[in-house]
Amino acid sequence: MTNIQTINQPLSQHIKADGSVTTLPEYQSNYGYQGLTKALSMSPSEVVNWVKNANLRGRGGAGFSAGLKWSFVPPLEKLPGQRYVICNADEMEPGTFKDRWLMEHDPHQLIEGLAIAAYAVQADTAFIFLRADYDLCAERLQHAIDEAHAAGLLGDPVNESGFSLTMLLHTSAGRYICGEETALINSLEGKRAQPRFKPPFPQVSGLFGRPTVVNNTETLCNLPHILYHGIDWFANLGLGDDNGTKIYGVSGRVKTPGCWELPIGTKVADIIAMAGGMQDGVKLRGFLPGGGSTDFLTEEHLNLAMDYGTIQHAGSRMGTGTMILLDDQTCVVGMVLNLIQFFAQESCGWCTPCRNGLPFIRQILTDLEAGRGQHEDLEHLLKLCGYIGIGNTFCALAPGAAEPLQSALKYFRDDFVAHIEQACCPHGNSPKPDNGLKKEAM
């Protein structure tokens, strides 16, 4: 097993065992806000290049280069006027809870990272777009923002060059689609949370039609450490092609579910070992490596490195890096149905494949669980996965919803067949009555 207990763990260094929050003096006692000080001594373009060269990839799921994303914002001299940065803290991906952990226990780390991003793109207003259910995060973030303002770390001006920053906390209306950055922007403007056409991309025309950068919470929390320690330091934390650490999570029937900061590229088996392994009497069958909208992998993939390229090559996505485990006593059909019910409910209804396709899939899976399935249903499910796949929908919600289903049919098809041939769920599941569309009506 990789030695993962003694590595440098910058993101979680202020996390207290008793669950309390880090205060401003405690945060500053261990180079807190020194990364921001370093950034303010550089030009904005130098900060952008610094982060780009550090190869900080987005930790929200897509894994896109944060510095490269910033570089798409037009220079202020070419497009003067207001610009914004937004922290996407609308953490609603099933099985994902890493950002909540950071915000509840170390809010100043996020505030400093967001301030660095704002300076890099020359924005004077920053928003934290927070999931509606995260009440403790909201309380602690607002207190930390007030602390930072009172200490002169935010406000007008922050440094001698006249850089000013207003930071605002916005609690979302509570929809999964707000995790998509343009739907988030629409919601922040007071509109219905639906994705926008791209182009134009938010870096050119985002919030209120102005240049806007949206980054995930964990992504932003890396910035203070990259600025303070340097590019080489960050690169040396990773075990493979990707740089830095990653907060990995494990949920399911393990002994100690939770999340841990580990070198990016840590093996799947080592991460599960951090959770104490499987509970007594159950065996691992498969896992969703990056939250509910990723493809299943199986026991044969346990020795893979949890990084973006390796997991993609295996046929899935690292996503948020928060694994959901499937054990041998849990019905895979019921597990997928539970996810599809969530995604169907959270569809914004903007495009037909997502709006109608997901309820149709939900009904087929409900019939399978209830013993009403037919063999042709499996081919229908595969076709529907293609209809709602990448390129056929307005955003990635429906393609993401298809991933656990299409991979379950690939790896666990016998379980689906057993539901049909035994005319019931072999695990004894009894699904609740479904109010979705009936197959006869489709």
* DSSP annotation of 20: P
At residue 147, the 3 state secondary structure works out as helix
Shared-domain flag, residues 388 and 317: no
Give every strand in the sheet of 125-130, ordered side by side. Answer: 166-171, 125-130, 84-89, 212-216
Read off the pLDDT of residues 74-114 as tens digits, 9 standing for 90 and up. 999 999 999 999 999 999 999 999 999 999 999 999 999 99
Whether 16 maps to a domain, the answer reads no
* DSSP annotation of 442: -
What CATH number is associated with residue 376?
Answer: 1.20.1440.230
What CATH number is associated with residue 290?
Answer: 3.10.20.600
Shared-domain flag, residues 249 and 217: no
Residue 436, domain extent: 332-441
Shared-domain flag, residues 133 and 183: yes
Choose the final residue of a domain: 324, 347, 372: 324
Shared-domain flag, residues 53 and 196: yes
pTM value? 0.93
Shared-domain flag, residues 177 and 268: no
Whether 148 maps to a domain, the answer reads yes
Shared-domain flag, residues 230 and 339: no
Show Cβ contacts of residue 405 under 8 Å, excluding neighbours closer than 6 positions.
336, 339, 340, 361, 365, 381, 385
Shared-domain flag, residues 255 and 305: yes
Q: How many structural domains are present in the chain?
A: 3
Shared-domain flag, residues 264 and 349: no
| Residue 307, φ and ψ in degrees, nearest 5 | -135, 170
Q: In 304-341, which positions are buried (b, 16+ CB within 10 angstroms) versus exposed (e)?
A: bbbbbebbeebebbbbbbbbbbbbeeebbbbbbbebbb
Q: Which whole number is the average pLDDT over 353-378?
A: 96
What pLDDT, on the 0 to 100 scale, is given for residue 3? Answer: 40
Q: Which whole number is the average pLDDT over 10-19?
A: 89
Choose the final residue of a domain: 165, 200, 234: 234
Whether 195 maps to a domain, the answer reads yes
* DSSP annotation of 163: -
Shared-domain flag, residues 94 and 60: yes
Show Cβ contacts of residue 1 under 8 Å, excluding neighbours closer than 6 positions.
269, 270, 273
Read off the pLDDT of residues 167-206 as tens digits, 9 standing for 90 and up. 999 999 888 999 999 999 999 999 999 999 889 999 999 9
Shared-domain flag, residues 177 and 120: yes
What CATH number is associated with residue 177?
Answer: 3.40.50.11540
Shared-domain flag, residues 63 and 147: yes
